[in-house]
Amino acid sequence: MKVIFLSKFCQKSGSKALSLRQLVFGVGVVFATVVGTSLWAGYELGQQTRLANSESERANRILHDMIRQQQTDLEETRAASREHIDALALRLGEMQSHILRIDALGERLAIIGKLDTGEFDFSESPARGGLDASETAQSVEAGELVAEIEGLARTLDDREHKLELLEEMLLGIELQKQTTPAGRPVKKGWISSRYGYRKDPFTGKNAFHHGVDIAGKKDSDVFAVASGVVTFAGEQSGYGYLVEIRHADGYATKYGHNSKIFVEAGDLVTKGQVIGSLGSTGRSTGPHVHFEIVRNGKTLNPSKYLRKIN
């Protein structure tokens, strides 16, 4: 076989005769070169692909770790938020309990103080109003809201304490009013004999009268003029059927000449309670009640107590 060689731009040419062996060897060398180059290129491509895959896997792992960390952080944030919400709900529940107690105190104070329950209606929200300011309104930050809730809770505690003190004071005043003699022991009647020296209706001589006599219709009701404990209920010389009641602050009242008695010694009676019926038992000239006020063992003129109205 003859191989023709052409020089650059075909300006020179030549030929050389090759044997079959040489030709096969040459082709083999060329084939081996091509195959080696292809294998090397494939190896390099494989290495680059493996490296690229390794980088991709590493990037995927990093991305997966970042997502997992974000999920963990998100769960922790949710748990912390739930704890904060639960704490706020508990605080609001405590404040609602305080408000209910304050409302109940307010209602009791309105009754004790005899206030207008229509004006002081604690079941209704306070009247409020104003122009629409939604355009300039600003949302409240969480920290500011918590601070306001705590401040309101302290205010509620303070107001509740002060209202309780006021209730105690009003109850004390009311108790004193209920246990201090005031008013008349009968609804209708007229004073037939006053306190002090008088002509005795049986002897005509001057004698000291320790109470007032209030004449009225026989068997009409006789009332306790103050709350207290019955210390005597029965017949006593001169008084006929007598009821004696001990009150606070050293006071005691006596109701004599009853036709009937409706209480017993040891009974707790309230102001205005019916304790007997007007009569003429004992040393008496007609139906009346002998009303007597004693304080620390000394009799007092009942006149000013009769005029008092609680």
- Which range has the worst mean pLDDT, 21-35, 138-152, 166-180? 21-35
Q: Once rounded to an integer, what is the mean pLDDT over residues 41-64?
A: 72
Q: What angle do CA 4, 9, 10 make, to 5 degrees?
A: 30
Provide the CATH topology of domain 190-307. Glucose Permease (Domain IIA) (2.70.70)
Residue 286: pLDDT above 90? yes
Give percent of the chain with pLDDT exceeding 90.
36
Taking CA atoms, 206 is separated from 197, 202, 203, 250, 260, in Å, by: 6, 11, 9, 29, 30
Q: Report domain extents, the chain.
A: 2-76, 190-307
Taking CA atoms, 90 is separated from 87, 130, 143, 169, 217, in Å, by: 5, 31, 17, 33, 65
What pLDDT score was predicted for residue 217?
95
Q: Is the model's pTM score more than 0.75?
A: no
* CA 46 to chain centroid: 76
Residue 284: pLDDT above 80? yes
Q: Which of 242, 238, 234, 236 shows the shortest CA–CA distance to 202?
A: 238
Confidence at 26, pLDDT banded by 50, 70, 90: low
- What's the CA gap between 185 and 237, in Å, rounded? 21
